[in-house]
Structure 1
Amino acid sequence: MTVIVRDLRPQDPADVESFAHVRHLALPYMLWTPAGVLHRLVHTPADAHYRSLVAEEDGEVIGTAQIGLAHDSPEPGQGYHNIYVRPDRVRRGAGALLVRTAEEHLAAHGAAKLFSWVLDEPQNRVFAERHGYRPSRSAHFLRLDLVNGTLPPLQPLPPGVELRTAADFADDPRPFFELDAETAEDEPSDVNTEFTDYDLWIEENWKHPLLDRALTTIALVDGRPAAFSAAHTDGAGRYATAMTGTARAFRGRGLAKLAKNASLHRARAAGCTEALTGNDADNEPMLAINKWFGYEICATEVRHVRELT
């Protein structure tokens, strides 16, 4: 049996479906759809040198990788690769071959530091450390059962506060972009992020095939967008929070909680059965909010880093 690594074939629906399926098996705490996989491949900017790779054994896709440069970071020379192998196809060399291919590609395009998320399981951490990666920050995946769980009741809105959906901004999403850009700068991470290109944000985020504009909720204070909770759905009953944040001038007022609670209630009414989210392990305020909603931690991942010499 021979394992090879190649680029994903975007023109082949079966190949894209296999990529999404492997990701779902290895990382079921996120939404993976063929449309989402294709969207990222097509709309990531050229200066990211982004690639989607598959490891194939005798015609079967058994491993995947998404690799690129952190094009939206003010610090150059940072790359990433996130590699996942089917749980029932491990120890066949697919992971090691994907790592080597990713490192060669990223180094050729100027990466000096590489980041990779690794599920916090002994065999995965040993694999990362064997390849020269050291652990850095960690993050949790959380899950909420929308069928059997009990959501907190909807809270009355404070004076001057109203809740709108992303669909209400269809004619002019720029205020939503500006809110998203400000909150992204303060998101805990090893790699700082800056949203400065509105047109790029439109293509990557606003037009994302999983973005549910009817469930994405924005809290306005005296008409100004102040907090939001962005929702992705897969059309099969699964809902995921893509981002929740509050503008700096409005923090400490519970606005993000109001927005997310409204979104979750509407998601349940729309037939969603499961809600997923993720938080940096040090993001205590957001972890506390999600605990209030009834989310439970279902897995943890650790970001690993390697300096290239």
Structure 2
Amino acid sequence: MTVIVRALRPDVPADVEGFVRVRQLALPYMLDTPESVAHSLTHTHPDAHWRALVAEQDGDVIGTAQTGLAHDSPEPGQGYVNVYVRPDRTGRGAGSLLVRTAEEHLAAHGATKLFSWVLDEPGNRAFAEAHGYRPSRSAHFLRLDLAHGTLPPRQDPPPGVTLRTAADYADDPRPMFELDAETTSDEPGDVGVEFTDYEAWLAETWRHPLLDLGLTSVAVADGRPVAFSAAYTDGGSRYATAMTGTSRAFRGRGLAKLAKNDSLHRARAAGYTEAFTGNDAGNGPMLAINKWFGYEICATEVRHVRELG
């Protein structure tokens, strides 16, 4: 009955499948597959010191942690630890062991400030605060019923704008990298991000197994991508928006909404029945867009912070 914490073994199917199962039970609003977990283990930048941990009891994976350094942030020493335990296996010490092991790993690699997403439920928040984490900003998970909901009608692009897909940039993704880097750097959040390593972006983002290039819609103007909505799919019935953004010079023209609407319509036509997305609670414009599509908030997370040392 003893709980042990150890590194995930990517070459052991039961480990990877157990990791995904815990995530699906504890956080059903995000897409995870064995392939996406294995991809993160093998393709995350070495400077992130990314590590996947599992808590095991009687041969079963009952808890997980994803932990690493925000190596692409301009502020050094920031780390993250996100812990999830199967809802039917809480209270056995798995969460505390995962937190302690992750913190030791991050401290050994120079982390001084740790961030953790915690579901906004009394037990989870109490657990985080008991381990020295204080609440910060919040974010929402949103769900859209693609099978039975009513999407806004498709819209024609404005003059000078065309709609394409990310698959059109398969031979040269650099324009998509430049757009992703610009929009991601402007996202609200506790940890700033600067994409400067094109090869790392190719490995981690462009070749991510959940990224569906054919369903990722791109608005093009002046010969370059200026807005996009990145689509993740799990190979089954679920679709998620991984990122939606517009180049600074083209904001305020409804291009992000145009791209996302196009992607959602094509996802529904392809047979996907559920759509998920997430927004910072302070991102009013994007929350308004998602409400227009018919998304409803299905859960909230609170970012918690702990200073080490």
TM range (shorter): over 0.9
- Partner-residue secondary structure (3-state), 1:303: strand
Look up the match of 1:272: 272
Q: Distance in 2 between matches of 1:49 and 1:267?
A: 35
The match for 1:175 is 175
TM-score, with length taken from structure 2: 0.99
Whole-Å Cα distance in 1 between the matches of residues 258 and 186 of structure 2? 20
User: Per-residue deviation at 1:224?
Assistant: 2.0
CA distance in 1, matches of 2:205, 2:268: 23
Show the counterpart of 1:29.
Answer: 29
1:18 corresponds to 2:2 = no
Counterpart in the other structure of 2:214: 214
The TM-score, its normalising length taken from structure 1, stands at: 0.99
Tell me how far 1:49 sits from its aligned partner.
Answer: 1.1
Secondary structure of residue in 1 paired with 2:171: coil
Aligned to 2:60: 60
Matched ranges for 1:247-286 at <5 A: 247-286=247-286
The match for 1:124 is 124
Q: Which residue of 1 aligns with 2:82?
A: 82
Q: Counterpart of 2:102 in 1: which secondary structure?
A: helix
Amino acid in structure 1 at the alignment position of 2:127? F
Q: Name the amino acid aligned to 1:246.
A: T
Deviation at 1:101, TM superposition (A): 0.4
The match for 2:234 is 234
The aligned residue for residue 195 of structure 1 is 195
CA distance in 1, matches of 2:187, 2:170: 25
Please state whether the residue corresponding to 2:73 is helix, strand or coil: coil
Which deviations, in whole Å up to 9, do the C-alpha atoms of 1:122-165 show, x marking residues without a partner? Answer: 00000000000000000000000001100000012110010000
Partner AA of 1:5 in structure 2: V
Question: What is the CA distance between 1:11 and its match in structure 2?
Answer: 0.7
Aligned residues: 309
Q: Which runs of 5+ in 2 are unaligned?
A: none
Structure 2: which amino acid aligns with 1:275? A
User: Which amino acid is the alignment partner of residue 290 of structure 2?
Assistant: N
1:153-196 CA distance string (max 9 Å, x none): 00121100100001000110000100000001001110000100
For 1:15, the aligned partner's letter is D
Aligned to 1:73: 73
Partners in 2 of 1:248 and 1:112 — Cα distance? 33
Q: CA shift at 1:225, angstroms?
A: 1.1
CA distance in 2, matches of 1:14, 1:53: 14
> Which letter does structure 2 place at the counterpart of 1:257?
K
Show CA shifts across 1:19-55 (max 9, x none). Answer: 0011000000000100011111111111111110000
Higher mean C-alpha displacement, 79-88 vs 41-50? 41-50
Secondary structure at the counterpart of residue 30 of structure 1: coil
Question: Could you tell me how far apart the structure 1 residues matched to 2:248 and 2:294 are?
Answer: 26
- The 5 A counterparts of 1:43-54 are 43-54=43-54
> Counterparts in 2 of 1:130-169, with a 5 A limit?
130-169=130-169
Kindly state the Cα deviation for residue 222 of structure 1 after the two structures are TM-superposed. 2.8
The CA distance in 2 between the partners of 1:195 and 1:307, in whole Å, is: 25
1:244 aligns with 2:244: yes
Give the residue type in structure 1 aligned to 2:158. P
- Per-residue CA deviations over 1:271-300 (Å, capped at 9, x if unaligned) read 000000000000000000000000000000
Task: Give the gaps of 5 or more residues in structure 1.
Answer: none
| TM-fit CA distance, 1:58 | 1.1
Q: Aligned letter for 2:255? A: L
SS of the residue aligned with 2:249? helix
The root-mean-square deviation of aligned C-alpha atoms, in Å, is 0.6
SS, match of residue 230 in structure 2: strand
- The amino acid of 2:225's aligned partner reads P
Report SS of the residue matched to 1:193.
Answer: coil
**What amino acid sits opposite 1:152 in the alignment?**
P
Number of the residue aligned with 1:102: 102
Amino acid at match of 1:55: A
